Structure 1
Amino acid sequence: MQSAVMKPALALYTTLFLVFLYAPFAILAILSFQTGPEGGPQFPIIEWSSYWYQHLFGLAPPSRVAPLPIGESLFRSMTLAFMTMIVSTVLGVMSAQAFRSRFKGSGIVFYLIVLGMMVPGVLVGLGMALVANFFGIDRHWWSTAFVLHVVYTFPFAFLVMLAIFNRFDKSVEEASWSLGVSPARTFRKVTFPLIFPGVLSAMLFAFTLSYDEFSRTLFASGRDLTLPLAIYGTFAVEIHPNVFAFGVLTTLFSFALLGVYAILMSLSVRRARRIAIQEE
Structure 2
Amino acid sequence: MIRDRGKAFYFLAIFFGLYVLFLYGPMIAIFVLSFQGPDGGLTFPMNGVSLFWFEKLFSGGGIVDIGAAFTRSLKLGLVVMLLTVTISVSAGLAFRKKFRGSAALFYIAVASLIVPSIITSLGIALEFRLIDDLVKNYGPDWLAETHTTFMGLFTSGLGAHLTWTLPFGLLIMFAIFNRFNPAYEEAARDLGATPWQTFRHVVLPIILPSVIGIGLFGFTLSWDEIARSSQAIGEVNTLPLELQSLTTTVTKPDIYALGTVTSAVSFLVIFLALVAIRALQNRQARQGSDAGSGML
Name the TM-score, length of structure 2 as normaliser: 0.84
Quote how far apart the aligned CAs of 1:230 are: 1.5
Quote how far apart the aligned CAs of 1:48 are: 3.0
Aligned-partner residue type, residue 121 of structure 2: G
Partner residue of 2:171 out of 141, 149, 159: 159
User: Does residue 113 of the first structure (1) align with residue 109 of the second (2)?
Assistant: yes
Hey, what's the Cα distance between the residues in 1 that align with 2:228 and 2:28? 29
Q: Within 5 A, what are the aligned runs for 1:1-280?
A: 4=6, 7-36=9-38, 40-58=41-59, 66-136=62-132, 137-277=149-289, 278=291
Whether the aligned pair in 2 keeps the contact of 1:56 and 1:67 (CA below 8 Å) is yes
Q: Which moved more, 1:181-190 or 1:15-24?
A: 15-24
Give unpaired runs (5+ residues) of structure 1: none
Quote how far apart the aligned CAs of 1:184 are: 1.4
State the secondary structure of the residue aligned to 1:255.
Answer: helix
Q: Which moved more, 1:224-233 or 1:249-258?
A: 249-258
Give unpaired runs (5+ residues) of structure 2: 133-148
Hey, what's the Cα distance between the residues in 1 that align with 2:47 and 2:253? 14
CA-to-aligned-CA distance 1:222-242 (integer Å, 9 cap, x gap) = 111111112222233234200
State the secondary structure of the residue aligned to 1:192.
Answer: helix
Q: 1:252–1:83: structure 2 CA closer, same or farther, 3 Å change rule?
A: same
Whether the aligned pair in 2 keeps the contact of 1:125 and 1:215 (CA below 8 Å) is yes
Whether the aligned pair in 1 keeps the contact of 2:73 and 2:239 (CA below 8 Å) is yes
CA-to-aligned-CA distance 1:216-257 (integer Å, 9 cap, x gap) = 111111111111112222233234200111222322222222
Q: Which moved more, 1:244-253 or 1:79-88?
A: 244-253
Aligned-partner residue type, residue 119 of structure 1: V
Hey, what's the Cα distance between the residues in 2 that align with 1:239 and 1:104? 58
Quote how far apart the aligned CAs of 1:259 are: 1.7
Q: 1:5–1:35: structure 2 CA closer, same or farther, 3 Å change rule?
A: same
Whether the aligned pair in 2 keeps the contact of 1:33 and 1:49 (CA below 8 Å) is yes
Q: Which moved more, 1:230-239 or 1:145-154?
A: 230-239
Hey, what's the Cα distance between the residues in 2 that align with 1:168 and 1:2? 42
Hey, what's the Cα distance between the residues in 2 that align with 1:167 and 1:275? 21
Hey, what's the Cα distance between the residues in 1 that align with 2:287 and 2:157? 41
Name the TM-score, length of structure 1 as normaliser: 0.89
State the secondary structure of the residue aligned to 2:231.
Answer: helix
Hey, what's the Cα distance between the residues in 2 that align with 1:17 and 1:67? 34
Hey, what's the Cα distance between the residues in 2 that align with 1:139 and 1:239? 32
Quote how far apart the aligned CAs of 1:164 are: 1.6
Q: 1:105–1:4: structure 2 CA closer, same or farther, 3 Å change rule?
A: farther
State the secondary structure of the residue aligned to 2:36.
Answer: coil
State the secondary structure of the residue aligned to 1:249.
Answer: helix
Q: 1:187–1:9: structure 2 CA closer, same or farther, 3 Å change rule?
A: farther
Quote how far apart the aligned CAs of 1:10 are: 4.1
Quote how far apart the aligned CAs of 1:275 are: 4.7
State the secondary structure of the residue aligned to 2:171.
Answer: helix
Hey, what's the Cα distance between the residues in 1 that align with 2:190 and 2:45? 70
Hey, what's the Cα distance between the residues in 2 that align with 1:251 and 1:11? 27
Larger radius of gyration: 2
State the secondary structure of the residue aligned to 1:169.
Answer: coil
Q: 1:273–1:103: structure 2 CA closer, same or farther, 3 Å change rule?
A: farther
Whether the aligned pair in 2 keeps the contact of 1:52 and 1:241 (CA below 8 Å) is yes
State the secondary structure of the residue aligned to 1:213.
Answer: coil
CA-to-aligned-CA distance 1:134-191 (integer Å, 9 cap, x gap) = 2214311111111111122111111111122122222111111122211211110011
Aligned-partner residue type, residue 20 of structure 1: F
Whether the aligned pair in 2 keeps the contact of 1:32 and 1:52 (CA below 8 Å) is yes
Whether the aligned pair in 1 keeps the contact of 2:243 and 2:258 (CA below 8 Å) is no
